[in-house]
Each structure stands twice: as C-alpha cells, then as structure tokens.
C-alpha cells in the first residue's frame, strides 16, 4: 500500500488515522467501540489515534447527552476538508489496484477479507 502511505503522508495522516476519519465521517457521531470495530483497530490503539486526530483539530469528542460516561466522536469541518482534499486520489489508488489485479481477483480478495473480518465477530 505504498501509494496510499505516500498520499496520506503528504496529508499528515497515517493509514489508521485515515480509516478512523472515514468511519467517523460516514457515520456522523459514533462511539469509540464502534469505530474500533468498523476500522479494524484495537481499542487501546484507537485511543491514541483519536487523541492525535483531536490534537490536529480533525475530530471532536463530546459526552453523550444520555449516558455521560460514553463519548461520541464526530468529524470537524477541518476533518471533512482533509477527506475532501484526498478522497479522489485515494479512490484512484484503489482503482489502479483493481485494474492491476483484475476484477475477479479483486472481488475475491474483498470477499475473503470480509470473511476474515466476520470471524472476529
């Protein structure tokens, strides 16, 4: 995934930070446990990632209004801008990978990865 790393490095992000940002953007407000499941990250690693993203002003964490013990993570306008600035290039990398692998192999890989992910559930 060298091309993705280079792209994200230019944006000042790691692959894990990018995954977290995308999950948070796609879901709106979400709690850390759900982020860790969707981004395939361990909760202790996610805690550090969330802190770095918050320090960069890309996400914000607030207390849930119903359960004050629970945090809700949401994306900021700066976080949305980072995604907007890099999404087309990210999708282009994915499309190049798909073209290099061929459609059948690419789809088979996605199916296997989904199966692997479901083993954890």
Give the chain's mean pLDDT.
Answer: 91
What is the percentage of the chain residues whose pLDDT exceeds 70? 98
Report pLDDT for 19.
94
pLDDT of residue 120: 65
pLDDT at 121 over 80: no
The predicted model gives 67-79 an average pLDDT of: 93
- Quote the number of domains for the chain: 1
For residue 65, pLDDT beyond 60: yes
CATH number for position 54: 1.10.10.10
Give the pLDDT of residue 103: 93
CA–CA distance from 11 to each of 74, 80, 93, 102, 105 (Å)? 20, 13, 15, 29, 30
How far is residue 47's CA from residue 58's CA, in Å, rounded to a whole number? 15
Look at residue 1 and tell me whether its pLDDT is greater than 70. Answer: no
pLDDT surpasses 60 at 81: yes
Q: Which domain holds residue 8?
A: 2-119
Alpha carbons within 13 A on the beta-carbon side of 11 = 26
């Amino acid at each position: 995934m060298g091309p993705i790393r280079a792209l994200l490095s230019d944006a000042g992000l790691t692959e894990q930070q990018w995954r977290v940002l995308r999950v948070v953007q796609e879901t709106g407000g979400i709690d850390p446990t759900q982020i860790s499941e969707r981004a395939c990250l361990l909760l202790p690693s996610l805690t550090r990632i969330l802190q770095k993203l918050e320090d960069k002003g890309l996400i914000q964490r607030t207390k849930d209004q119903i359960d004050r013990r629970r945090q809700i993570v949401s994306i900021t306008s700066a976080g949305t801008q980072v995604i907007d600035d890099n999404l087309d290039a990210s999708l282009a990398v994915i499309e190049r990978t798909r073209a290099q692998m061929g459609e059948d192999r690419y789809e088979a890989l996605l199916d296997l990865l989904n199966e692997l992910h479901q083993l954890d559930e």
